[in-house]
Amino acid sequence: MTGQYLAFFIFALMAITGGVFMINLSRVIHMVLSIGLSFFGVAGLFIMLQAEFLAFVQVLIYAGAITIMMAMGTMMTQGGDEGEKPKRRLHNVLSFLSAVLVGAFLLYGIYTTSWPTEPTDLGANNIKEIGVTLFSNFVIPFELASILLLVALVGAIVLAKRDGEKD
């Protein structure tokens, strides 16, 4: 077993255990923190795939911003009805079956297809490459993404503003 396989197993284990803990823990804040572990694992997988820029973006946006924002949202929306849980056993079993079916179908497809095995070397300097491609071939999607972020910012503020306040 080489070091690369070891790193892959560690990062994949981080990603999957984070997700499983999110399903199984009972407190919402613990769920939010465990999904942070999953995001860090995926960032590690990105580094192994020579996508260093995306790994840093993943840590900044997912593990940093989204996890913390959801933790803040959890604190802002703590209600009294934490305790009572009506049982929905049939619903849970059906959901589990459909999730397992989706997963089994995807895994079967993955293991019966012969994928290209030779990785392409994306180069040590691929952050520069991303910038050049983004501003030569993908300028219009880039600008649209910035407009989308602006609209989301304004929309989130308008939605979360209290009704009574003017301005």
Binders of another protein among residues 52 to 111 (CB under 8 A) are 53-54, 57-58, 61-62, 65-66, 69-70, 73-74, 76-77, 79-81, 86, 91-92, 95-96, 98-100, 102-103, 106-107, 110-111
Least distance to another protein from the beta carbon of 167, Å? 18
Residue with smaller CB distance to another protein, 86 or 167: 86
Indicate which single residue of 10, 48, 68, 139 sits in contact with another protein (rule: CB under 8 A): 48
| Count of residues that interact with another protein, criterion CB under 8 A | 81
By CB under 8 A, tell whether 119 contacts another protein: yes
Indicate which single residue of 1, 3, 10, 32 sits in contact with another protein (rule: CB under 8 A): 32
CB crowding 8-20: b at 16 or more within 10 Å, else e? eeebeebbeebee
By CB under 8 A, tell whether 10 contacts another protein: no
Indicate which single residue of 10, 68, 139, 149 sits in contact with another protein (rule: CB under 8 A): 149
Indicate which single residue of 16, 68, 139, 143 sits in contact with another protein (rule: CB under 8 A): 16
CB crowding 22-56: b at 16 or more within 10 Å, else e? beeeeebeebbbbbbbbbbbbbbbbeeebbbebbe
Least distance to another protein from the beta carbon of 123, Å? 9
Nearest CA to 153 among 141, 162, 145, 163? 145
Which two tokens mark 162? 């209290």
Q: Report the half-sphere exposure of 128 (CA within 13 A, side-chain side).
A: 3
Do 5 and 35 meet the contact criterion of CB atoms below 8 Å apart?
A: no
> Measured between alpha carbons, how far is 42 from 22 in angstroms, rounded to an integer?
15
